[in-house]
A and B are shown apart, each in its own frame.
Chain A
Amino acid sequence: MQDHSLSLAKPTEGLLSQKIGASLIAAALLCAIIAAFGQGETQSVLFFGLIIVFSVAGGIIFSIPYFKAIPGIKNNGIMHSPATNRGGIAWGIAILMTGFYIILYWFPNYLEGLIRTMDPLSSMLRNKPSDQWFLYGTLYTLAVIIMGIRFIGKYRSNRYQVFRTLSVMFFQLGFAFLIPAFLLKLNQPEFYFSYFWPLKYSYLFPNDIDYLIQSGNIGVFMVFWGLVMTFIATPILTYNYGKRWYCSWVCGCGALAETLGDPYRQNSDKSLKAWKVERWMVHSVLVFVVLTTALLWLNSWKNGTILGDASGLFSQCYGFLIGSVFSGVIGTGFYPIMGSRVWCRFGCPMAAILGLFQRFKSKFRITTNGAQCISCGNCSTYCEMGIDVRAYAQKGENIIRASCVGCGICSAVCPRGVLNLENLAEEGRFESYTRQGNK
């Protein structure tokens, strides 16, 4: 006879630490508001310390239950909670995040006090005072790290999930935050080695290239790096591993989507209609950026005589509509309503190019294991890109879709071990399983 008191895991065990964690994060938010109202200018070190300590401690304490539970992915209550099922809390968070982006992009003066709290860190890392973008970068990196810890706790039974999350945390902290800051400190151009054209569209614009080349050997290397990554490394890596090498292992947008956005991944639209809209939109953005780049080069080649300011206007439009409104305000602000990969799915031109490679020329696929699918729908529900994974799996077909970022969650949540991300021979990857009789 087993004694119930010996039982090891009770689902409520984590409640206290979640309350403490959430309280600390709320305290960090309050400190940020007070700082923004002006206190940040006079007591920058104090408020910087409070915000960082409260949010990091809060995030870690909040994540403790995930690490204490018996390993195994649990999505219990996600569809019941107003925070994750597009309820009141989700809308509140969406408005908060969207509003933050609007203030950050167009009314940064309201954030002056908050920006000043980052001065100590900024002068340490970059030798110059903070600005709105440094504030944004710091908060962004903080979110990736804190929510990355939570993610690792939740998915720690799956090593693919742990490794790729450590990878995006590393690239965000090192390549997208520290290295650009150090470059500034060394009086070099602020350059992000983990972003390439067309996501970082200006890296192949004539102005940026001119500027980089004029700034010396390191600048020349940066131009070289950008060209190699866009035109050589990207096709080779995507051929061998699918677009996931970038979207789920390196990219900063992916990093935020996978960590901060993870609680909302189920809210992506899985309908056929959404897929149609997605294909039109994402490929239109790709055409837009290619056209913009081509125009700028044409203009630069003709010394601005043919197009005049038109090409500059074109690139300004792209920067405003796609670079700011789409990728920031909608792409991130709408996480709680439209799922975590709104930007990646509907707007990212890099994802579009990688997707075309993945669909037509790659070794990557998600293999369906024979006839083992029970059509339960966990895979489709938790696909952040809105792919109806089940539609393929239940037919015994492999999943080869341009939009798949290879996050591997479909495979992780499958209760029957039906799905596996693989890089095998290119030949035969579209072949489906056919069952043979005994005779």
Chain B
Amino acid sequence: MNIIIIGNGITGITCARNIRKINSDATITVISEESKHFYSRTALMYMYMGHMKYENTKPYEDWFWSKNRINLIQATVNHLDTVNKSLKLDDSRILNYDKLVLATGSIPNNFGFPGEDLNGVQALYNLQDLEKMEKNTSNISAAVIVGGGLIGIEMAEMLHSRNISVTMLIRENAYWANALPQEEAQLIGNHLHKHGITLKFNTELKEIRTIDQVNVHSIVTKQEETIDCQFLGITTGVKPNIKFLKNSSIEIEKGILVNEFLETNIPDIFAAGDCAQFRYVKTGEAPIEQLWYTGKMQGETLANTICGNKTTYDRGIWFNSAKFFDLEFQTYGKILPEITPEQESFYWEHENGKISFRANYNKSDRSIIGFNFIGIRFRQVIAEQWIREQKEIEYVIDNLKQGWFDPEFSDAYDKKIAKSFSSNPIN
């Protein structure tokens, strides 16, 4: 069996590794235009800040690939021939496959802002972007970031570490408000402010200005405010990287359409990770998942299917994590920015304004739905078990200590949280 995987991100690589674990005979080839070896995209910011070198971001040493007989090709795929089951690369090589995995990831959204082609205007997604950012930000003093999401805040921290002043333009009325409840969004906003980041809420970019026709000089917001900057980071989300499939017989919409087995409409072609879009979605689940964790899980699931053990992709209990400057964030279960009428939410915040806890539960049977933690590390196994077993909120609050995962000698806040819960009028 000759398997080709396009994309060497976490999804493609997880898939390749797991195929090799199950099947020792298959020929496995991974093609990437970005880098020869797999590195952790999550560490892009740490390379810029000088925490790590590129070498440190590779989860496997270079000998790993030949030892596991995973062929690596750095090239761009120009054309896919689904009839003859072949690929054409930019170096005009033609590769044949028996099974093909599309794990091409994302590209940054662009909204066609006037002036977005100027030097100093860029997104941050891959290694090439990082190199560009290194050049674009040498010897500058002020930057603007459009978009208040996870990459936006990473970019803010990166620039801040080089002593560049940062202004963030955020469309909503608080940081990451389309994912976080108001309290958490505000807490994080305050923390950013303490670090010297200027946040402009309810603000959108109108145009990008230049004096020399080459470099960005300033931006104008929709409120007609002008902000000087020599760098403009566009972090307004990503979309599936599927351009090269536009004229193929593979069905695409926003992403590559797949069923629950991650199969496309063409036999022996599969898609997983950021580039895949589920045809049928359960309520409350997103058709396109653009997370490290889901990419990894999809890659693992797909390896089973390809090796003959057809497996349904199952997200399990939702979880995610992030870090906002010094604040760690963990979430388990589905916490919506605003609760539904059937739900109740309990929120506790430490007086230092850096630590918070939220538990959402169903009004009717008081069963737990999910958690948000800021500045608290919590055990995933415990959170998942409670959500799966639909434990009552009272049980959860009484047993919080079981899930505590902060380093030894840290203060535990379970008692404070319990006290606050019992004195809360809505309970």
**Which A residues have a C-beta under 8 Å from some C-beta of B?**
1-2, 4, 6-12, 70-72, 74-81, 85, 157-160, 163, 266, 271-272, 367, 369-372, 374-378, 380-381, 390-391, 394, 408, 411-412, 415-417, 420-422, 433, 435-439
Whether the pair A391, B377 counts as a contact (CB closer than 8 A) is no
Is the CB of B49 closer than 8 A to any CB of chain A?
A: yes
Contact A378 B46, CB 8 Å, known A9-B195, A271-B61, A370-B380:
yes
Asked whether, in the complex, the Cβ of A4 is within 8 Å of the Cβ of B165, the reply is yes
Find out whether the CB atom of A76 lies under 8 angstroms from the CB atom of B380: no
Closest 9 CB pairs of A and B: A370-B380, A72-B326, A7-B196, A417-B377, A437-B314, A159-B409, A77-B50, A80-B50, A374-B42
B397 to chain A: closest CB distance in Å? 21
Chain B, Cβ-Cβ closest to A370: B380
Further 16 A-B residue pairs, CB within 8 A, beyond A7-B197, A85-B53, A435-B316: A2-B199, A7-B198, A8-B194, A76-B49, A77-B49, A79-B53, A79-B56, A271-B61, A369-B405, A370-B379, A370-B381, A371-B293, A371-B319, A375-B292, A420-B377, A435-B297
Closest chain-A Cβ to B290's Cβ sits at a distance in Å of 14
B10 part of interface (Cβ distance < 8 Å): yes
B268 on the A face (CB < 8 A):
no
Q: Could you give 13 example pairs across A and B, Cβ below 8 Å?
A: A2-B193, A4-B198, A76-B50, A157-B326, A158-B407, A160-B407, A369-B405, A370-B384, A372-B319, A372-B330, A377-B59, A415-B328, A436-B384
Residues of chain B within 8 A (CB-CB) of A415 are: 323, 328
Q: Given that A11-B160, A78-B50 are known contacts, is A377 also in contact with B388, CB under 8 Å in the complex? A: no
Q: Is the CB of B195 within 8 A of A369?
A: no
Given A2-B199, A4-B196, A436-B316 in contact, is the A375-B381 Cβ separation under 8 Å?
no
B407→A10 contact, CB < 8 A: no
**Residues from chain A with Cβ under 8 Å of B180 in the complex:** none
Residues of A within 8 A of B195 (CB): 7-9, 70
Note all chain A residues with C-beta closer than 8 A to B160.
Answer: 11
Check A416/B407 contact, CB under 8 A, given A8-B194, A76-B49, A436-B384.
Answer: no
Query: What A residues does B328 contact at CB under 8 A?
Result: 415-417
Q: Is residue B43 within 8 Å, beta carbon to beta carbon, of the partner chain?
A: yes
B78 within 8 A of A: no
Q: Is B2 an interface residue (CB 8 A)?
A: no
* Cα A374 to Cα B384 with chains together (Å): 19
Chain A interface, >50% SS class: loop
Kindly report which residue of chain A lies nearest to residue B199, judged by CB atoms: A2
* Contact assessment for A417 and B50 in the assembled complex, using a CB-CB cutoff below 8 Å: no
Q: Nearest Cβ distance between residue A244 and chain B, in whole angstroms?
A: 10
CA–CA, A71 and B162, complex, Å: 18
Least CB separation from A71: chain B residue = B326
Q: How far is B297's CA from A57's CA once the two chains are assembled, in angstroms?
A: 54
A424 to chain B, nearest CB (A): 12
Query: B51 within 8 Å of A by Cβ?
Result: yes
**What is the minimal beta-carbon distance from B319 to any residue of chain A, in angstroms?**
7
Closest to B313 in A: A437
Contact B53 A376 (CB under 8 A): no
Contacts of A381 in B (CB 8 A): 51-52, 56
Per the bound structure, the CA–CA distance linking A307 and B43 in Å amounts to: 59
Q: Is B173 an interface residue (CB 8 A)?
A: no
- Within the complex, the shortest CB–CB distance from A80 to chain B, in Å, comes to 4
A375 in contact with B50 (CB, 8 Å): no
Does B422 belong to the interface (CB within 8 Å)? no
Picked from A75, A163, A374, the residue with its CB within 8 Å of the CB of B40 is: A374
Asked if B88 CB lies within 8 Å of chain A CBs, one says no
A376 to B293, CA, bound (A): 13
Cβ-defined contact, A372 with B316, below 8 A: no
Q: Which residue of A lies closest to B47 (CB)?
A: A79
Using Cβ atoms and an 8 Å threshold, which residues of chain A touch B161?
11, 74, 76-77
Contact of A9 among B47, B194, B317, B377 (CB under 8 A): B194
Q: What 0/1 readout, one digit per residue, does chain B (309-338) give for beta carbons within 8 Å of chain A?
A: 000001111010101011010100000000
Our pick among B292, B297, B379 for the contact of A374 (Cβ within 8 Å) is B292
| Residues in A whose Cβ lies below 8 Å from that of B163 | 10-12
Given contacts A2-B193, A369-B379, A374-B292, contact A394 B297 (CB under 8 A): no
| Bound Cα distance from A159 to B407, whole angstroms | 8
Contacts A78-B51, A394-B59 given: A160-B42 contact, CB under 8 Å? no
* B377 pairs with A79, CB closer than 8 A: no
**B217-249 interface code vs A (CB 8 A; 1 in, 0 out):** 000000000000000000000000000000000
* Residues B379 and A79 in contact, CB atoms below 8 Å apart: no
Nearest CB in chain A: distance from B55 CB, A: 9
Q: Most chain-B CB neighbours within 10 Å: which of A158, A367, A376? A: A376
Q: A369 near B56 (CB under 8 angstroms)?
A: no
Kindly state the separation between the CA atoms of A70 and B194 in the bound complex, as whole angstroms. Answer: 8
